[in-house]
Amino acid sequence: MKNGTIKNIKKEVLSDNWYTLNKYTYEYQKEDGSWENQQRESYDRGNGACILLYNKKKRTVILTQQFRMPTYTNGNKNGMLIEVCAGLLDGDKPEKCIKKEAEEETGYRIHTVEKVMEGYTSPGAVTEIMHFFIGAYDENMRVSDGGGIDDETENIEVLEFDFEKAFTMIGRGEIKDVKTILLLQYAHISKILT
């Protein structure tokens, strides 16, 4: 199915508090040529980057854990979520952003990263494109305890897992963050830790 023509787009800002929630009203031309009115809400929080840090020799990965209010309100009993390191670009190039985020969140200063993919995180409602990276780490790269930036109200716990354990945590429902699942599956399929 190809995209129809869109016309008469009207944008209304519903909220501009933390990020921006817009409501779009427009006419969409269907395959049969007829037009229909549609309304959609779109949350614009900017684009982001995420990284799976891995140690090939130890066969380990670095993940983070922090409280995520939206998951708490949707069935995550304690709101804590295990994730790969991630952050918003905030005007930076994806590679620069993820190196900065890795150091802030995990305490590891990563010099070389590899972009493996990019994609929309939730295209039905969120504008964000996520840039996915992998990067090798070792103990010599540790420059701090990590944990995030105080003025960003981050309370991040840094976790080091055996890769096989982390990978099996997906099937047991202990890792539910999609970006983390994608990067762990990428590591498994590409055999970067074998």
Instruction: Pick out the residues of the known binding site.
Output: 86, 101, 105, 154
> Which positions make up the binding site for Mg(2+)?
86, 101, 105, 154
φ/ψ of 125, rounded to 5, equals -145, -20
13 vs 118: CA distance, rounded Å: 27
Q: Are 101 and 49 in contact (CB under 8 A)?
A: yes
124 vs 133: CA distance, rounded Å: 24
Q: Provide the strand spans (E) within 56-192.
A: 60-67, 80-83, 85-88, 114-120, 129-136, 157-162
Give the tokens for residue 161.
């897992």
